[in-house]
Structure 1
Amino acid sequence: MNDVITLAHGAGGRQTAELIDRVFKAHFSNPQFTGDDAAVLSIGGADLAFTTDGFIVSPPDFPGGDIGKLSICGTVNDLSCMGARPLYLSCAFVIEEGFPLAKVEKYAASMARTAAEAGVRIVAGDTKVAGKGQVDHLFITTTGIGQCLAGVHTSGTLARPGDVVIVSGDVGRHGCTILLARNQFGIDADVTSDCAPLWGTVEAMLGQTKDIHVIRDATRGGVGTVLYEIASQSHVGIHLDSQSVPVHPSVRGVCGMLGLEPLYLACEGRLVIVAPECEAPAILDVLHRQPYSQDAAVIGQVTAEQPGRVILRTEIGAETMLPPPGGELLPRIC
């Protein structure tokens, strides 16, 4: 591991994991410290999920959303992945001196609309103003608390051989959208971020069955990084069928031109679900009837072979190891 922090340490891949293990886990470790999307805490007889997330997306406005919408979706979705109904959020703003007040108000309004859709209340916050050049326009941090549904227990440690892997929709759209919004490659493509609050999707799915082992949202590092995390946490192998992975044609085209792997581009409205194979038809039926998961699909299976690895079956039927996540081309995507 490098002796200085690089952009790769914030990208959600191998360097991020090394940073967490070497520094944060080493100093903060306790029985509640978690590698999942939120910690589950038993307080007063109730199981509560608790999480926090920082958002520094560049540019702060993009097709399909903005940093305000993103800051609510990210934290709501982390709570939802633990089977917790999002209840309350706090938010902290770090604003660069000289940033237009009208834009601050615009992003606050976007947060309010998204929170209303998710059924969550913003109840506390903090504001700091940094000197010119000390912050890239605006950073937002949101912290959330939710109440876990009875009978639900999800964790990256619970994947079992024989389970299937489901994604709730096409992958890589948010990362591709941010890439194009930066206008660095002169590519014109019709791509919109998948940024969305997913509690309604998760609630409908858990209303059908609570026999779901893992729910994760594929943000930094995309679906590929999430699958490697699950394989490591559960000590299992994961086999994917490349032809079953839903990818929007425009995203596939951009990735083809730039040599990118859609599985490693960020999503902000997609779930990775691991559940017993017998539950898959019912789960897919529910997902296909929800507004943000109509393209849900089974993309692979959990196996006992090759623990810690993700194996990809190619279009011609050959099998190859999906390269483990490393550095990230797009560090500023969430």
Structure 2
Amino acid sequence: MNIITLAHGSGGVLTHKLIKEIILKEFNSPILRELTDAAVLKVGKNTIALTTDSYVVKPLFFPGSDIGKMAIYGTVNDLSVCGAKPLFISCGIIIEEGLEVDVLKNVIHSMKEASFVAGVTIVTGDIKVVERGKCDKLYINTSGIGVMGQNIKLSIDNIGIGDKIITSGSIGDHGISVLSAREGINFGGSIKSDAAPLNKLISKILRAGGVRFMRDPTRGGIASTLNEIAEDRNFGIIIEESSILVKQGVYAASELLGLDPLYIANEGKIIVVVSKDSASRILRIMRNDKLGRDARIIGEVVKKYSGKVILKTKVGGSRIVDMPQGELLPRIC
């Protein structure tokens, strides 16, 4: 690896290689090595979660959302899938010289609205301005702090044979929304980003019990997330193509562009691994929430296919779902 490419930011094979071979080699922290969406930390008698993320999506505004909402919701969701109640957000903004002030105002207003919807408070921040041409309009970094719920320990180590895989709804909406705005392509239908805060839905799920692990499938889509779960484990994952919801507009766009919806980014969905006995109960709870009304069981954890994700196709075949190899849709978040 001599240079960094766009593929290193895809959330796929090269991203994981970069993290393991360079970052973890130097930042040799046991907490960091867990590679969770947020670090779970003991502070005195309390347990908190801390996360950080950066947003470079292009364009800044697209159907259903914008970079400001994404920055808040993404941070809230990364805390929530670890079992924390999100509370406080920091915001760092890097601005290119020449950006219209009204654009910045609109982004800041979106962040304010998103914070109110998610029930979090922006408490600190920073602004930097760089020369014209040294940044593409505006980038955002957010960090978040949340308080862990009592007796909540979500981990891939909890997953066992027979556990069910649930998604909270359709996949690929966000990635296709951004792509359509970026390229000026109308794929037909009303494709909007699914960006949303999932903390309230997740709180309901956790109270039901039976949750082993959860993650929000952003970069690399559900393919990347499921591979992260199965990697180096003594179990495999089988998913059913017929059970995975892909909206018609997303399906049409994927067919036209040669994309696989399994690999397209989401910003308002979760993958939940639950015990077999609790699956029906949790599914009902999710479907009673507007952000989970299209939830469905898409697969299960199996003894064979260790370390692999297998898709059973609609025509009766099967294929391996690999970790993403390159960058399908750069700057999608």
Q: TM-score range by the shorter chain?
A: over 0.9
Matched, 1:164 2:164: yes
- Judging changes above 3 Å, is the alpha-carbon distance between structure 1 residues 110 and 185 closer, same or farther for their aligned structure 2 residues? closer
Mapped contact 1:174–1:267 kept (Cα < 8 A)? yes
The list of structure 1 runs, each at least 4 consecutive aligned residues, that deviate by more than 3 angstroms after superposition, is 184-189
- Secondary structure of 1:104's aligned partner: helix
TM-score between both structures, scaled by the size of structure 2: 0.97
CA distance in 2, matches of 1:82, 1:62: 28
Give % identity: 41
CA distance in 1, matches of 2:188, 2:283: 33
CA distance in 1, matches of 2:315, 2:329: 30
Partner of 2:181: 181
Q: Tell me how far 1:317 sits from its aligned partner.
A: 1.6
Partner of 2:193: 193
Q: Tell me the alpha carbon deviations over residues 35-60 of structure 1, each in whole angstroms, 9 at most, x when there is no partner.
A: 11111001111111110000000001
Q: Which runs of 5+ in 1 are unaligned?
A: none
- Judging changes above 3 Å, is the alpha-carbon distance between structure 1 residues 233 and 45 closer, same or farther for their aligned structure 2 residues? farther
Q: Tell me how far 1:235 sits from its aligned partner.
A: 3.9
CA distance in 2, matches of 1:13, 1:236: 20
Partner of 2:303: 304
Amino acid at match of 1:7: L
Q: Tell me how far 1:234 sits from its aligned partner.
A: 4.1
Q: Which runs of 5+ in 2 are unaligned?
A: none
CA distance in 2, matches of 1:294, 1:151: 27
Matched, 1:283 2:299: no
CA distance in 1, matches of 2:249, 2:191: 6
Q: Tell me how far 1:157 sits from its aligned partner.
A: 3.7
- Secondary structure of 2:268's aligned partner: coil
CA distance in 1, matches of 2:200, 2:38: 18
Amino acid at match of 1:141: N
Larger mean Cα displacement after TM superposition, 265-274 or 150-159: 150-159
Q: Tell me how far 1:323 sits from its aligned partner.
A: 3.2
Q: Tell me how far 1:63 sits from its aligned partner.
A: 0.5
Amino acid at match of 1:221: G
Amino acid at match of 2:15: T
CA distance in 2, matches of 1:164, 1:125: 40
Partner of 2:75: 75
- Secondary structure of 1:269's aligned partner: coil
Amino acid at match of 1:14: V
- Secondary structure of 2:272's aligned partner: strand
Task: Figure out how many residues of one structure are paired with residues of the other and give that number.
Answer: 332
CA distance in 1, matches of 2:233, 2:66: 35
Mapped contact 2:170–2:245 kept (Cα < 8 A)? yes
- Judging changes above 3 Å, is the alpha-carbon distance between structure 1 residues 157 and 36 closer, same or farther for their aligned structure 2 residues? farther
Q: Tell me how far 1:188 sits from its aligned partner.
A: 4.1
Mapped contact 1:158–1:234 kept (Cα < 8 A)? no
Alignment of 1:116-131 (within 5 A): 116-131=116-131
CA distance in 1, matches of 2:185, 2:238: 33
Q: Tell me the alpha carbon deviations over residues 126-160 of structure 1, each in whole angstroms, 9 at most, x when there is no partner.
A: 00001001000000000001011112111234322
Partner of 2:41: 41
Partner of 2:329: 330
Partner of 2:254: 255
- Secondary structure of 1:213's aligned partner: strand
